Amino acid sequence: MEAVTGILCKEYEYAKKLSEYINAKKDYGSMAASFAGADDFKAFYERKDVKTFLFDEDIYLEEGFPLALRPGTECILLCENKEESYSLENGMRRVFKYKPAGEILKEIGKEPDKKYGKWENVFAYFSPDAAILAAVKGFACAKQHALSGRTLFLSWEPFGGLGREASEDKEYGSEEKASLSELLFRLRKSEDEAARLFERTCKTMGVDYFCGPDYCSDLWQFSAEEMCHLVSFCKERGGYEYVILAVGFFSESMEGVMKRCEKVVLITLSGSSGRERKREFYRQMKYAGNQELLDNIIEEDEDEKKMGGKSYRRGGRS
């Protein structure tokens, strides 16, 4: 299947002319297609191998991504501020849209910086075997860091996370406390709108946190870029020195987040099942060439015999 550069822009004439320029360049190695609306692009994306997606920044800021991008598709925002042709915190590049077409083509051809924006003091806890234990260890880490700096705990567990009732801050009623779902959807619309939710975070044992998702599938609706944007946004606009993440499932979006963390703590139980799952996790990461994530990992093994008879495995009962 021939690789394609997709261009989605409010000014359709602009998108059309840029795609015509690209298509006239026989040595570019990819055809280009222009779109005026997200629905047309979605239908096209399902059928074609889109390698690069040029996306109007205004549409992104107003509406967010029109769809979840496949691995291997790079998104580049077309912006109107020529001072902003650099890598965003969430990994997307911005390109000044009114540059000469030849210069835009050079920008598209650049290899994206895979080491962009590593976060300091952001730690993820993940387990292929015992997700609940990873969350417990992650929150313990958050409590420890809260002694020395402002700390936010984010639990990306479909059916987990600290609840509203656990909050010691009674300024708002329990139902008015902000959830992770609310934060994600508001951030997709506006950073200013999302920033208001910091007034409604839950607090316990010195740690701030957002409640778990309102519905489990909410966590699968956001791209790696959007999830990374969330973490950067919390550190910068929320003023948190430390952000601790409990990652309750593995997906493309969670993979993107964990690559940018300072460290990923891989929790496994010491029994045979734990060892097998850990081996399989490493096998799959190596198979996918995911060395960047593997370089972030430090391991923590827990002795299953010392867990007091409790099961922290997926689907386990205490």
Instruction: Give the type of residue at 34.
Output: S
pTM of the predicted protein model: 0.61
Please check whether residue 114 lies inside any domain of the structure. Answer: no
301 contacts 137 by C-beta, under 8 angstroms: no
Residue 166 included in any domain: yes
Residues 279 and 150 in one domain: yes
Q: What is the pLDDT of residue 49?
A: 81
pLDDT at residue number 298: 94
How far apart are alpha carbons 194 and 316 in whole angstroms? 36
Helix (H, G, I), strand (E, B) or coil at 51: strand
End-to-end Cα separation, the chain, in angstroms: 51
3-state secondary structure of 33: strand
* Separation of alpha carbons 73 and 53, rounded Å: 7
56 vs 76: CA distance, rounded Å: 9
**Positive or negative torsion for Cα 40, 43, 48, 49:** positive
Q: Does 95 share its domain with 131?
A: no
Q: Are 75 and 66 in contact (CB under 8 A)?
A: no
Q: What is the mean pLDDT of each run of 10 residues along the chain (318 residues)?
A: 79 90 76 85 83 83 70 80 52 79 76 60 93 90 95 88 57 66 90 90 92 86 86 90 94 90 91 87 90 90 54 37
Burial class for 184, CB neighbours closer than 10 Å (0-12, 13-18, 19+)? buried
Strand order, beta sheet including 263-269: 202-204, 207-209, 151-156, 242-247, 122-126, 263-269, 297-302
State the CATH number of the domain containing residue 100: 3.40.50.10850
Q: In what order do the strands lie in the sheet with 74-79?
A: 31-35, 3-8, 49-56, 74-79, 93-96
Residue 313 maps to a domain: no
pLDDT at 280: 94
In a domain, 144, yes or no: yes
If asked whether residues 157 and 93 sit together in one domain, one would say no
**Shared domain check, 135 and 71:** no
* Residue recorded with tokens 């920033």: 195
Q: Tell which residue, 35, 40, 48, has the closest CA to residue 2.
A: 48
Q: Please give the residue range of the domain that contains residue 132.
A: 122-306
Tally of CB atoms within 10 A around 75: 21
Q: How far apart are CA 229 and CA 89, in angstroms?
A: 7
Q: In this structure, is residue 279 part of a structural domain? A: yes
pLDDT at 45: 83
Within-domain flag for 314? no
Classify residue 294: in a domain, yes or no.
Answer: yes
The verdict on residue 315 lying in a domain is: no
